[in-house]
Amino acid sequence: MITIFSCILDWILRISGTIALLWCLFSLFIKTNEFSTNIKITRFIDRNVLDKYSHYTEFSDPDLTGEYLVFEPQDTIIRKVRIYKIKWTVKKIIKVKKIAEFKNITPGNPLIYNSYFPEGAPSKRIEWIGEYGTKGIYTLAENGKTGNVDKINYIYQFGLIQNIRKRLELK
């Protein structure tokens, strides 16, 4: 009687252990999109607001200027920041041309981007790669109702290494 019970228990533990191991391996390869607060993106029109920043990198859009966008990392170093001109079709957004690229944007040295927020179809996109390879996307657009720049414009994508770090609760 004990041997039958231990044999059944042994097989239950083997099957559940195999399923748990496969689930852990499978979950490492799934890309997740989530919002993050380690990048602060602020939009303003008055140039006098720039006086509060002692060090910054400034870039003016060759097509349209007038509004300022402050891209400021809060607690991480951004390895690369790329600004793209995009075209919005009915189904998806297509990158047309890379406008600029910046490297090593730190919390004390924000990127000031002089451009224009279009109403309706977006025309520019900022993409960045964080310190541990985390990719982020921000589309310059405002909603047509209130003119707000919503948090929905932030998209983060985590790859294999970032998922391992996230599962093991490393930085």
d(CA 39, CA 74): 6
Strands 135-140 vs 33-34: parallel, antiparallel or unpaired: unpaired
Structure tokens at 117: 């927020």
pTM (2 d.p.): 0.65
For residue range 92-117, what is the model confidence (pLDDT) as tens digits? Answer: 888 888 988 999 888 888 888 887 77
Domain residue extents for the chain: 1-30, 33-167
Give the residue-averaged pLDDT of 78-99.
86
pLDDT given for residue 11 in this prediction: 92
